[in-house]
Amino acid sequence: MRYSFSQEWTEKARETAKSLGFDYICLERITCVESRGTKTKRVIARIHALGKVLQLGMREKPFYVIELISEQFDRQSDEDKAKTIIHELMHIPKCFGGGFRHHNPYVTKATVEKEFKKLAKIDC
């Protein structure tokens, strides 16, 4: 597995969070990386967090990294890429504490679609 920092997608994720009013997300504390070499066929992206124990031990604040699995993510349409970023951002809890929000009821196809429609209206 190879990872590389993505300035482009980090900026897009931060812009998306800001545009959607996800004010609880500390924009400087989220980044995106692209990964290559996975064998997974179903996973498009995943979100990682600096867990509570590491935060305490390192005396660091929470930090989130969205991993974009290039083999799957790059094949998507621009619309689906935007929805994938929204999906991963929605996993970040409102406390921005290093944990995650579950799929049901927070991160579902319907909730992602609702946020995507809001974003599409903003971009018009």
The tens digit of pLDDT for each residue in 36-81 reads 998 888 999 999 999 889 999 999 999 999 999 999 999 999 999 9
**What's the chain's length in residues?**
124
Of all residues in the chain, the percent with pLDDT exceeding 90 is 90
**Alpha helix segments (H runs only) across the chain:** 7-19, 52-58, 70-73, 78-90, 109-123
Residue 40: what pLDDT? 86
**Residue position matching structure tokens 């929805």:** 83
- Neighbour-count burial of 108, counting CB atoms closer than 10 A to its CB (0-12 exposed, 13-18 middle, 19+ buried): middle
Peptide bond before 62: cis, by omega within 30 degrees of 0? no
Structure tokens at 85: 């970023």
In CATH, what number is assigned to the domain containing residue 45?
3.30.2010
- The count of structural domains within the chain is 1
5: which strand partners? 33
pLDDT at 20 over 90: yes
> What domain range includes position 53?
2-123
